[in-house]
Amino acid sequence: MARTYILTKHEREILKRFVETGEKLNGLRNLIYIFRKAKTQLEEDIQLIQTALEKYG
């Protein structure tokens, strides 16, 4: 079963706060570490999803 989200609500709040204000809430360092490790895979997955959506119509 596919999920309809990449970030949880809590993760989204942490990242939004950092982007908007520069505030580093608990968990930000761990999120950045995970995203750096997964960056290539996430980009490939998003591209694959976009291609499939375009092909499907």
The 10s digit of each residue's pLDDT in 22-42 is 999 999 999 999 999 999 999
Please report whether residue 4 resides in a domain: no
Radius of gyration in angstroms for the set of CA atoms belonging to the chain, rounded to a whole number: 14
CA angle 14, 8, 19 (to 5 degrees): 25
The answer to whether residue 15 sits within a structural domain is: yes
Judge whether 3 lies within some domain: no
Q: What is the pTM of this model?
A: 0.81
User: Does residue 2 belong to any structural domain of this protein?
Assistant: no
Q: What pLDDT does 1 receive?
A: 83
Domain residues for 22?
A: 9-56
Percent of the chain at pLDDT above 90? 95
Average predicted confidence (pLDDT) for the chain? 97
51 touches 41 (CB < 8 A): no
- pLDDT-derived band at 2 (thresholds 50, 70, 90) equals confident
